[in-house]
């Protein structure tokens, strides 16, 4: 009987994670040294003053207790909201149906390519672990499509992290916005004519679809590779090569910040590497994530700031954009040190000015990773001007330093 009750409880608390219940944790971390110690073990969902909040799996909690138990001030089992549902249906929970599934996202990309053939071409960057095509769009003026001349490029990418569904919606709305206003809005027409604008709205489709399977969120972060002992997932934003594995990521396969067995071990990060390296005109990258409303720039893997003129370009651009979206501009490692992310690689290896936007909401009390459909439109609106600015500056990033 007791065994039955335990099993039933385990089933209730299971959030789709094969390793058991998820736990909410609140830790006290007064210094960035303490924060960075924590970032070696778990993913930090939010930092507020000297508090850290996160939802972690059973294994991560064990490790936290073992390594830095003295910092833990509150833990309880995390029970995701929403009706019980054991189906395998791949669709968002009813109230969030406005969000796009992988299939719906691909349908939008196909529809745009069909509707605007003069300025859009479809891209295929590769395939995910489970075999989903990693699709994108290239938007550029009709003449550029036929010529080999150099045109400055910019790359917008969403959903490295599965549960950050808003990070697919914003680039999807942005690309539609550019296309719908091309030919009528002069600024947009000129920008599109003068740039190569690349969009990949869902880089981690397997993780994102796993997160919504059965129409119930699972707090999934990583991709869906099967690891050596049967757990799943590598954190794609710890899998890039620059400074890989030197802090703020874990070698434990069950960790939410598992760096993978080697840099670029994953097909999804390999796809970005290959694409960016084959498109040498890319001068700026914007990687969308959620949440906290931040504009982050390198370095993320070390405390030093980017030196010289480049450092000034990063801060100037971040500060300018923050006036429009009201997000807080900061160096990524100011949040916590973490290595293997997109931007340290893009800038460190290729000198690309790369930003990470942590979209809405501002805090976990406003919904955290699952803020609902109401935030989609305002998050898009807030980021139109920052996106247009980056598209513009791709022609000459150093131009922002001129008086
Ligand atoms: O931890 C991450 O990968 C990003 N935050 S998220 O909540 N979306 O997972 C932030 C990456 C910023 N980079 C570093 N701090 N290195
Ligand atoms: Zn993220």
Q: What is the pLDDT of residue 193?
A: 97
Ligand 1 centre to CA of 69 (Å) is: 23
- What pLDDT band is residue 149 in, cutting at 50, 70 and 90? confident
Q: Whose CA is nearest to atom 12 of ligand 1?
A: 332
Mutate which of 358, 369, 371 for ligand 1 pocket (most atoms within 8 A of beta carbon): 358
The mean pLDDT of 355-379, rounded to a whole number, is: 97
Domains of the chain with bracketed CATH: 2-78 (3.30.70), 102-401 (3.40.630.10)
In order of 142, 162, 218, 283, the CA distances from 149 in angstroms are: 13, 37, 46, 16
Ligand 2 centre to CA of 290 (Å) is: 6
DSSP 259-327: --SSTT-SHHHHHHHHHHHH-TTEEEEEEEEESSSEEEES-SSSSSPPPHHHHHHHHHHHHHHHHHH-P
pLDDT tens readout for residues 9-30: 444 334 444 457 899 999 999 8
pTM for this predicted structure: 0.93
Q: Which atom of ligand 1 is nearest to the CA of 292?
A: 7
Q: What is the mean pLDDT of the chain?
A: 93
Ligand 1 centre to CA of 66 (Å) is: 24
- 6 pLDDT more than 80: no
pLDDT tens readout for residues 315-366: 999 999 999 999 999 999 999 999 999 999 999 999 999 999 999 999 999 9
Ligand 1 pocket by C-beta < 6 Å: which residues? 43, 161, 164, 237, 289, 296, 300-301, 332-333, 335-336, 338, 341, 356, 358
- Evaluate the omega torsion of the peptide bond into residue 45 and state whether it is cis, within 30 degrees of 0: no
Query: Does the annotation count 358 as an active-site position?
Result: yes
Q: Which ligand is nearest to the CA of 52?
A: 1
């Amino acid at each position: 009987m007791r065994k039955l009750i335990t099993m039933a409880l385990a089933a209730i608390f299971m959030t789709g994670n094969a390793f058991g219940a998820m736990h909410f944790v609140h830790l006290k971390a007064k210094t960035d040294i303490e924060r960075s110690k924590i970032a070696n073990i778990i993913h930090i969902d939010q930092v507020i003053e000297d508090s850290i909040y996160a939802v972690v799996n059973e294994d991560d909690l064990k490790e936290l207790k073992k390594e830095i138990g003295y910092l833990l001030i509150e833990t309880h089992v995390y029970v995701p909201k929403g009706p019980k549902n054991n189906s395998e249906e791949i669709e968002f929970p009813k109230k969030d149906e406005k969000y796009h599934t992988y299939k719906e996202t691909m349908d939008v990309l196909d529809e745009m390519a069909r509707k605007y053939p003069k300025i859009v071409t479809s891209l295929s960057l590769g395939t995910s672990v489970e075999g989903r095509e990693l699709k994108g769009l290239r938007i550029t003026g009709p003449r550029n499509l036929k010529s080999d001349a150099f045109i400055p490029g910019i790359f917008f990418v969403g959903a490295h992290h599965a549960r950050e569904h808003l990070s697919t919606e914003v680039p999807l709305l942005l690309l539609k916005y550019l296309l719908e206003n091309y030919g009528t809005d002069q600024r947009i027409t000129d920008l599109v004519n003068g740039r190569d604008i690349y969009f990949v709205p869902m880089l981690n489709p397997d993780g994102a679809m796993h997160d919504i399977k059965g129409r119930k969120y699972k707090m999934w972060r990583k991709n869906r590779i099967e690891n050596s002992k049967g757990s799943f997932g590598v954190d794609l934003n710890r899998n890039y090569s620059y400074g890989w594995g030197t802090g703020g990521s874990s070698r434990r396969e069950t960790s939410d910040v598992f760096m993978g067995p080697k840099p670029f071990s994953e097909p999804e990060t390999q796809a970005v590497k290959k694409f960016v390296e084959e498109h040498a005109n890319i001068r700026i990258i914007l990687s969308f994530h959620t949440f906290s409303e931040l504009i982050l720039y390198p370095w993320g893997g070390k405390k030093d700031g980017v030196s010289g003129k480049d450092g000034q370009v990063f801060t100037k651009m971040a500060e300018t954009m923050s006036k429009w979206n009201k997000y807080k501009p900061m160096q990524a490692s100011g949040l916590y040190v973490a290595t293997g992310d997109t931007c340290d690689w893009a800038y460190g290896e290729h000198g690309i000015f790369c930003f990470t936007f942590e979209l809405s909401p501002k805090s976990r009390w406003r919904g955290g990773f699952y803020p609902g459909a109401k935030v989609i439109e305002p998050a898009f609106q807030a980021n139109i001007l920052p996106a247009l600015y980056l598209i513009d500056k791709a022609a000459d990033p150093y131009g922002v330093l001129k008086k």
